Amino acid sequence: MTAFSYHDDEILVTTSHTVPGREITGHHGVVVADVTPGRNIGKDIAGGLRDIVGGRSKSWEKTLEENQETALDELVEEAKSVGADALVAVDITDESLGGQGGMMNIKAFGTAVSTR
């Protein structure tokens, strides 16, 4: 698993259900962002070979990380659009669409809140 941090000057993003040092004063609902990147034949071939011979596909891991960050960016924009200044209970999931060899979908979701 790759660990990464997310920073935005306007929105605090946390996986916790509370915001340390702040009081939640309003809930704006659940916000969701989906990212479904296009296929890349070079990565598909390299990933397929890795499946056969074993090992990790660094190029796919990098792509997954980049798409997770894109999903978080979109999630933050959704939270801003509803007037939130924080996102709590943030989670990111990924799933394969169409079985093995299908496309990948990254979903980020959380609760948009106001704090003081």
For the chain, how many structural domains are there in total?
A: 1
- Tell me whether residue 2 is in a domain: no
- Tell me whether residue 3 is in a domain: no
- Tell me whether residue 26 is in a domain: yes
Q: Report the pLDDT value the prediction gives residue 37, as an integer from 0 to 100.
A: 82
- Tell me whether residue 45 is in a domain: yes
CATH of residue 81: 3.30.110.70
- Tell me whether residue 68 is in a domain: yes
The pLDDT tens digits of the residues spanning 38-47 come to 765 555 555 5
Q: Cα dihedral sign for 37, 41, 45, 48?
A: positive
Query: How far apart (Å, rounded) are the C-alpha atoms in residues 115 and 55?
Result: 45
Its pTM stands at 0.77
Query: How many other C-beta atoms lie within 10 A of the C-beta of residue 72?
Result: 22
Query: How far apart (Å, rounded) are the C-alpha atoms in residues 81 and 75?
Result: 10
Q: Report the pLDDT value the prediction gives residue 103, as an integer from 0 to 100.
A: 80
Q: Report the pLDDT value the prediction gives residue 13, as an integer from 0 to 100.
A: 94
Total H helices, total E strands in the chain: 2, 4
- Could you tell me the two tokens for 9? 């000057």
Beta bridge partners of 87: 13, 112
CA distances from 50 to 38, 53, 57, 100 (A): 20, 5, 7, 13
Which residues does the chain have with pLDDT short of 50? 1-3
Q: Which residues contact 22 (CB under 8 A, 6 or more apart)?
A: 12, 86, 115, 116
Q: Report the pLDDT value the prediction gives residue 2, as an integer from 0 to 100.
A: 45
- Could you tell me the two tokens for 65? 């990380």
Q: Report the pLDDT value the prediction gives residue 73, as an integer from 0 to 100.
A: 96
Q: Report the pLDDT value the prediction gives residue 22, as an integer from 0 to 100.
A: 94
Range of the domain at 38: 12-115
